[in-house]
Structure 1
């Protein structure tokens, strides 16, 4: 629309300008005549978006915090049990007498990657009905006075997971204070 099309008073009349224009009723593109490659790319993009959305939801469902509650020392022995775990079972776990079915090594991972790996690993082991697993977090001997962040985070994350009923630092032959034996809930 040019200046000559404006009314003499200079005001624009939207209704007049829209006369003769019809509104389309469809809000989705019709891909029937579109080449197969373009349709496939479109389908792939949609699948990727759905997958990313489901992962975002999954991370929120796991609800693992990104802030550590309590920093632990390199040589600290970790031990945790939910109410109802028998003392005899905890002693067996601590002594390394409960055989573990699978292990996860978190060395070299970022904290975000480790959290995602640990969460997925625990979920998968629980689905496979494993009773005991090992998680290697390391001791963080990388620098003078440097706190073992991975160990501290793993300590917190495992306590937040409903599938985990107990864990304890491993025997020296299995990594000592750089690894954990983790006991999972029995399947119902």
Structure 2
């Protein structure tokens, strides 16, 4: 049972309250826009059944990487201290590859040949400059996105991390390679 005093109190507290005119939530207002580059990748993947090339590097399942985004990858078994040294630029860079101006197909070929050459010559720490692709495809990195995906697939790549600003920043990666057996 509610007392008259409680009813009066409730009436005073509710005096300025107005009923809601609609009872549906606006679920579209929080919608996140998908970058055009990501949409293009998704469309391409939907139309290409299997895009693994002869060299074994796949272009499917690419995740768009923003121009200023830091990237890194660590293979299982690699010591975290080694990755930390790589991140901090504390390992001597023994060889460099610059992919500016290459098409994706040429860059893929060059990347594999470069890593093969470096491993044969016992280079274990190299740098690959991929650029940031700021002006292309709705501010999404293109070559950077591909390099990020390819390096994860190349045998002999133990790990990689975006460079320090002095070595190219997020437009380049330090790569740690295994020695050939």
Q: What TM-score comes out, normalization by structure 2 length?
A: 0.68
* Alpha-carbon distance between aligned partners in 2 of 1:124 and 1:144, rounded to the nearest angstrom: 32
Asked whether the 8 Å contact 1:68–1:152 carries over to 2, the reply is no
Structure 1: tracts of 5 or more residues without a match = 1-58
SS in structure 1 at match of 2:118: helix
Alignment partner for residue 126 of structure 1, among 100, 113, 119?
119
| Segments ≥4 residues shifted beyond 4 Å | none
- What are the superposed Cα offsets for residues 84-143 of structure 1, whole Å, 9 maximum, x if unpaired? 111111111000001111000001111111111101101110111111000000011214
Report the aligned-residue RMSD.
1.4
Matched, 1:137 2:99: no
How many residue pairs get matched? 129
Q: What TM-score comes out, normalization by structure 1 length?
A: 0.65
Pick closer, same or farther for the CA change 1:111–1:144 going to 2, 3 Å: closer
More helix by share: 1
1:154 maps to 147
* Alpha-carbon distance between aligned partners in 2 of 1:68 and 1:174, rounded to the nearest angstrom: 29
* Alpha-carbon distance between aligned partners in 1 of 2:139 and 2:123, rounded to the nearest angstrom: 34
SS in structure 2 at match of 1:118: helix
Structure 2: tracts of 5 or more residues without a match = 1-52
Asked whether the 8 Å contact 1:68–1:153 carries over to 2, the reply is no
* Alpha-carbon distance between aligned partners in 1 of 2:152 and 2:137, rounded to the nearest angstrom: 28
1:117 maps to 110
